[in-house]
Chains A and B, each alone.
Chain A
Amino acid sequence: MKVIVVGAGIVGYNAALLISQEGHDVVVVEQSQERIDKIHRKLDVMTVSGSGTNPKVMKEAGVDHADLVVAATDIDEVNMVACFVAKQMGAGKTVARLRKEEYITNGGVSIFTSLGIDHVITPEVLAAEEIADVLTSGSALAVEDFGAGKIRMMEYKVGNTPIDGMPLKDVRFPKPCKIVAIVRPSGTVIPRGNDSIRLGDHIYIVTSREDLADLEPFLGLRSAKAAPDNITIFGVGRIGLRLAKTLERHHVRVKAIEQNLDRCELAASELKNARVICGDERDLDLFREEAVPGADAFVAITAKGDLNILMALLAKQMGVARTIAVFNEPEYQLLADNSGIDVAISPLLLTAGAVLKFVRRSGVQYVALLEKQQAEALELMASPGSAVVGKPLKDAVLPPGAIVGAILRNGKAMVPDGSTPILSGDRVVVVTLPGTRATVERLFSAR
């Protein structure tokens, strides 16, 4: 597949990185020489210097043969025109990164079609959805849905659990589930029967959606049944407002703190029950009196990434059970990981990852990345006549770096054991290390 990425900011750079790692031909169109130099040395892609709205530049990038064009600059109008130009010049699918409310909300569909935009991707929407998912699903650090929402993969930090150190093959889980990856500082492991989990490990677990709530206490975690009731949102910009609306639908009490009066008024008029408080975001008294008391979760989403990390940390210290910080600066990742904040979310990296679903490989329904791309979860369709079909799992010769998490068969999710056969037409969730991905895909594809 040939992909053109317009703009090499955080979204464009990471999208190009991920897509090229999938083995596709990527051309990056970028105006800044500094960014081009960086790409040249780091990524296996071709670069074209210039603007993505310039037909001459796009021709040089080979837009007429492109299967997918991703317009990922941080200016909506540039992305729209880039998609328009690309479509006019014969590109396959186009994806535009757009953020302005007036473009992405209702009634826009016909505009997009005539602009040549096939898909719209919005960092703010993705971030709001991800935060809402995390907040409404117990103790999860990250949530990923497969099989039309029937299968869920969750990331947890293991708490005090009776199965600490017990070989996984001896563990009797209260509900069928499968641990598909264990992330430790030393690296990511795809567990076998003799591996075990320990306090502090990050684990990825796959199960059917309704069984999750029963598993969490077993792992020493707060259950999704005990999802937070009172959430403080610190900063009500585009993400904050969207998040607040989603949480209201989940019947959560939301308190929103914002220093810009206009935005406060907008939020107060658009939200039904949420309490909106206007005040300086650096006012610690306000923070102590309004943000913390009664809150069992705290989300910092101001425009300033560093402030978000600090405030989330402060909230944690003041006793809020779950804290989430939103920031886009890749440089802060390390800081946030080690700081004690529960969840760090980067809208721009989420966007780059979301682009991956448009570069689907044959047979692959969906791709999700695990911890820092050290592993990925694939939803694969078992093709008729493929190597895995008809055999019990233990004979399906999956490589050691891969594991089957769950199967969606006839619209029902199931967690397989070694004797479960894979049937043709099954949608199978497989977690694999990068090195064995190609083998896994070959096993599932028709010969």
Chain B
Amino acid sequence: MRPAAVAHYLGLVLALLGALMLIPLGVSLIYGEHDQSAFLISALITASAGGVLWFPTRGWSGLIQRRESFFIVAASWLLAGVFGALPFMMSGSFTSYLDALFEAMGGFTTTAASVMADIESHPRSILFWRNFTQWLGGIGIIAIFIGITPMVRLGALGGSAMFEDEVTGSQANRITPKLKDTVKTLWLIYIAFTLLCMVLLLAVGMPIFDAVGNSLSAVSSGGYSPRNASIAYYQNPAAEWIIIVFMILSGINFALYYLIWKGKGSSAWQDSELRAYLGILVAVSALVTVDLLTSGVFSSLGETIRSATFHVVSLQTGTGFATRDFDAWPWLSKSLILLVMFIGGSSGSTCGGLKVIRLLVVVKYAHRQLYSIFHPRVVIPLKIGGRVVPDGIVREALAFFVLFQSAYLLSTLALTALGLDLVTALSGVAATVGIVGPGLGLVGPAANYAGMPDLAKVVFILDMYVGRLDLWTVLVLLRPAFWREP
């Protein structure tokens, strides 16, 4: 690994992040708040740190190697959290840097795990920054960088590899021949959804600041809300349905929207992952509805269906908005919610979790293995949507499944060792590795992560980080051989 190559790109990414901090500064000016200096200083520190890395390496050009690509992506996200925490500290919203870092990582990773007490007491610019980090994290820091940088040849210089290391799911999302065009198309879709969500929320009577913030967090499947009571604050069924729709949209592979845009809607609809994803959403929502009806949590059918659907969608897509305290629901509903948190959305979406496509592969693989016990000579290709899945993808899915579970178990072990109860530990890990947000028990929707011990917060931060980068990008850095080999 060549330090110059790494420093060059990390410097540029930091400079970009510093520039982006000027946007909440604008919000602060609009609302006449008194924390402009917090954003200005944070932006200066971040941009200068970027400058220090970039300036000595400004002439650098060349091919980014495999190893450097992994490191640049992993370090970019870590640095985004480290520097993104600065406005929280400077504005005085947090006194502990660990808490500020937690909040920033919860933002960039689109987890929405919060340690903020009494959200509404904070300045609007800070609340906007929380939503904005989620929006940036949803499309991806490297994707933003690739979209903005004038380096047209970046795609051939290793940018393609960086983009793949950041994207969630096992399949690359290349929808146009040139990387830059692909990234720009994804941006356009993302921005269009965000604006549409904003307009609709405004139309059903949500105040403009809230409509902007909630849209940024819904489309990115983030989940930070500018209100203590999250979406429940508005008591607005129409707004809840709008948010449900946009959360569902954010959990679909963005490449499919490009297909639809190109007039190939029917082939997008044939996508097995899309069908499985929607199938799971509908089936689990129906089960939770029945469970809630039989246990009589709500009085009206309409409210039951809406609440069940809202939370299943919110937690499967890893958004983390809440309208009810689902921690008080019956156990069946709670375990179903844990299950969908584990599965997550589609590959190439803004969601975390195992991803529906990997679930399909793993289930089919297990089925094939089972069948071949009695028919040892049988040849069954592993097919999804009528197409044979390449061996490499099958192996990736299996290995991911194992690693994902290991991450769960190890984190849960660590948290129980720190004295957390099993429900809190297990659901907290599910909610952070799956980049969801609220879990059950002490980290349920009615509480948040503020009461966790410091070491537990560190574990959760790592879980969010690893979860957003789809495990691999961070885990390869942990292999000693990664650093030893030339």
Contact = CB atoms under 8 A, between A and B. Distances in A.
Contacts of A49: 390
| B: contact size bracket | 20 to 34
Nearest to A32: B390
A15 to B, nearest CB: 14
A33 B390 contact: yes
A439 to B, nearest CB: 14
B176 interface: yes
A20 B159 CA distance: 14
Contact of B174 (A2, A21, A37, A46): A46
A26 B177 contact: yes
Contact of B164 (A24, A26, A40, A46): A40
Contact of B160 (A2, A24, A43): A43
Interface string B417-456: 0000000000000000000000000000000000000000
A343 B177 CA distance: 36
A108 interface: no
A27 B177 contact: yes
Nearest to B69: A41
Contacts, number: 49
A44 B154 CA distance: 8
Interface of B: 66, 152-156, 159-161, 164, 172, 174-179, 181, 390-392
Interface residues of A, number: 20
Contacts of A40: 160, 164, 172, 174
A46 B177 contact: yes
B153 A47 contact: no
Contact of B176 (A23, A25, A41, A42): A25
Contact of A20 (B156, B164, B172, B175): B156
Contacts of B392: 33, 37
A27 B181 CA distance: 13
26 contacts: A20-B156, A20-B177, A21-B153, A21-B156, A23-B152, A25-B177, A25-B178, A27-B177, A37-B392, A40-B164, A41-B161, A41-B164, A42-B156, A42-B161, A43-B156, A43-B160, A44-B153, A44-B154, A44-B156, A44-B159, A44-B160, A44-B178, A44-B179, A45-B177, A46-B175, A46-B177
B386 to A, nearest CB: 12
Contacts of A2: 177
A2 B177 CA distance: 9
Contacts of A44: 153-156, 159-160, 177-179
A33 B391 contact: yes
Given A21-B156, A44-B156, 19 more contacts: A2-B177, A20-B155, A20-B177, A21-B153, A24-B177, A25-B181, A33-B391, A33-B392, A41-B160, A43-B160, A44-B153, A44-B155, A44-B159, A44-B177, A44-B178, A44-B179, A46-B174, A46-B175, A47-B174
A43 B174 CA distance: 12
A29 B462 CA distance: 40
A152 to B, nearest CB: 31
Contacts of A37: 392
A37 B161 CA distance: 11
A23 B156 CA distance: 10
B429 to A, nearest CB: 32
Contacts of B161: 41-42
Nearest to B161: A41
Interface in A92-146: none
Contacts of A41: 66, 160-161, 164
A344 B179 CA distance: 34
A21 B178 CA distance: 11
A435 to B, nearest CB: 8
A42 B66 CA distance: 9
B149 to A, nearest CB: 14
Contacts of B177: 2, 20, 24-27, 44-46
A21 B153 CA distance: 7
**What 7 A-B pairs are tightest by C-beta distance, nearest first?**
A44-B155, A25-B177, A44-B156, A33-B390, A46-B177, A41-B161, A46-B174
A330 to B, nearest CB: 16
A374 B155 CA distance: 18
Contacts of A33: 390-392
A42 B179 CA distance: 12
A187 to B, nearest CB: 12
A374 to B, nearest CB: 12
Nearest to B160: A44
A145 to B, nearest CB: 29
A20 to B, nearest CB: 6
Contacts of A42: 156, 160-161
A2 B181 CA distance: 13
Contacts of B152: 23
A440 B152 CA distance: 17
Nearest to A37: B392
A46 B172 CA distance: 10
A24 B175 CA distance: 15
A233 to B, nearest CB: 38
Nearest to A49: B390
Interface string A40-64: 1111111101000000000000000
A2 B390 CA distance: 27
A380 B155 CA distance: 27
A46 B156 contact: no
A24 B178 CA distance: 8
Nearest to B61: A435
B65 to A, nearest CB: 10
A189 B156 CA distance: 23
A25 B392 CA distance: 27
Contacts of B155: 20, 44
Nearest to B267: A60
Contacts of B66: 41
Contacts of A21: 153, 156
B357 to A, nearest CB: 16
A25 B182 CA distance: 11
Nearest to A28: B177
Nearest to A21: B156
Nearest to B159: A44
A46 B176 contact: yes
A1 to B, nearest CB: 11
Interface string A183-212: 000000000000000000000000000000
A17 B160 CA distance: 13
A25 B178 CA distance: 6
A24 B152 CA distance: 11
Nearest to B175: A46
Contacts of B176: 25, 46
A47 B160 CA distance: 12
Contacts of A24: 177
A47 B66 CA distance: 19
Contacts of B175: 46
A145 B174 CA distance: 39
Nearest to B66: A41
A20 B153 CA distance: 9
Q: Which of A26, A37, A46 has the most CB of B within 10 A?
A: A46
Nearest to A3: B177
Contacts of B178: 20, 25, 44
A277 B177 CA distance: 51
A231 to B, nearest CB: 39
